[in-house]
Structure 1
Amino acid sequence: MTTSVVFVLAAFFEIAGCFAFWAVVRSGASALWLAPGLVSLVAFAALLTQVDASAAGRAFAAYGGVYVAASLAWLWAVEGFRPDRWDLVGGAVCLTGAAIVVFGPRG
């Protein structure tokens, strides 16, 4: 699996897992939602171990930009709130930062 696919899948599972906890704690959903939330968070962590990176911190830093952009997509697709221009600018800045971390020259 390519790094970009791993990051997108990891973001989905992390957001879904965190959203399950949010739904229980903040929205009064059934505590049964915690079980798939935990499974989702385990899948997220397992996926990040598949990233081809020399250091975990660098992989996590690059993933962070993808997470922000994916969170904004979740905001729109799942929660029904369209991101505003500042959300989009912030997401673009985060993705730019992730690209610098991934593609920056090392040496």
Structure 2
Amino acid sequence: MIHDGEDALFVDMTLCLDAWKRSLWLRESRSVVMALGYLELSSKALPLPLLHAHAPLVDVNPHLVLRAVVVEEARDLDLTLWNRAIQAQEEVGARKRADRATETQNTT
């Protein structure tokens, strides 16, 4: 399971594991990783893992899984900057949708 803030996502990394490659970050807590794959919505809920007492409280959809094809350690990834960029993109999209709705109302 990976998480950012209060949001978490199950990740299936079975296609990414290599017995010959050392991936020490797998054993580290709070490692920053980049995972690429496809999202799968399952009709059957996955069991929620037991987390240690100091783990942050997260919200996870037990029906949603990222089937990873690539997982790499990304210590230099600035998650704060990443999240700000995503937020800005969402705001631009919301403004465009609002503008289109206004234009549609004005033409009818």
- Interval of TM-score (by shorter of Structure 1 and Structure 2): under 0.3
Higher strand proportion:
2
Q: Which structure's relative contact order is higher, taking Cα pairs within 8 Å and 6+ residues apart?
A: 2
Larger radius of gyration: 2
TM-score computed with the length of structure 2 as normaliser: 0.26
